[in-house]
Chains A and B, each alone.
Chain A
Amino acid sequence: DGGITQSPKYLFRKEGQNVTLSCEQNLNHDAMYWYRQDPGQGLRLIYYSQIVNDFQKGDIAEGYSVSREKKESFPLTVTSAQKNPTAFYLCASSPLLGELFFGEGSRLTVL
């Protein structure tokens, strides 16, 4: 079945540690995205990529990094520079023009 797989589903991190969230898609979509959702808030764009080896900052990129070495994969690293990393993270993909398809999300908690 085609879809987007995010892992891990739940992740705990100590302050000062970097963590990487995985996102893989087999929909053959060109574009991939990372969003953050906080309680009572809409989705906010962290980074997006429309082609392999290229990515752009979204609205809240500070403290995050990404890579797009393969079309299918778009991992997100939450660095120690992110001041408030506890949140629900959603990965999505789409054709260049077309609706977003989301993964099930990863919940990161900083202890």
Chain B
Amino acid sequence: DQQVKQNSPSLSVQEGRISILNCDYTNSMFDYFLWYKKYPAEGPTFLISISSIKDKNEDGRFTVFLNKSAKHLSLHIVPSQPGDSAVYFCAASPSGGSNYKLTFGKGTLLTVNP
């Protein structure tokens, strides 16, 4: 039973355009959400997070939106750059973000074409 779903295995966008990566979750106890970015042959790195008390969090070119009623979050990258090409993992946690309770999605491979 997949509690965190990233239904698009891959996404391709042109440089300079917006990239939108989506994530759905089923567990209503999740209240903290994160995005991690992973380049080939490297470990994932933390990108951005949001708690359930907010519906938007912004950090430079990266914005995460949370729609609690739809159990859906999305990561927007504007403008997209070729260096953003990577696998993006969505993760969710109940109870204030304990890492050992994190559930990861399968990831979405983003390719940004020059």
Contact = CB atoms under 8 A, between A and B. Distances in A.
Interface of A: 4, 31, 33, 40-45, 48, 50, 56, 58, 90, 92, 94, 97-105
Interface residues on B, range: 20 to 34
A90 B43 contact: yes
Contacts of A33: 99-100
Interface string B26-69: 00000000101000011111100100000000000000000000
Contact of A100 (B9, B99, B106): B99
26 contacts: A4-B43, A31-B99, A31-B100, A40-B9, A40-B106, A42-B4, A42-B89, A43-B104, A44-B104, A50-B100, A56-B100, A58-B100, A90-B43, A90-B44, A92-B43, A97-B97, A99-B99, A100-B36, A100-B44, A100-B46, A101-B45, A101-B46, A102-B45, A104-B42, A104-B43, A105-B42
Contacts, number: 56
Interface of B: 4, 9, 34, 36, 41-46, 49, 89, 96-100, 102-107
Contacts of A58: 100
A30 to B, nearest CB: 11
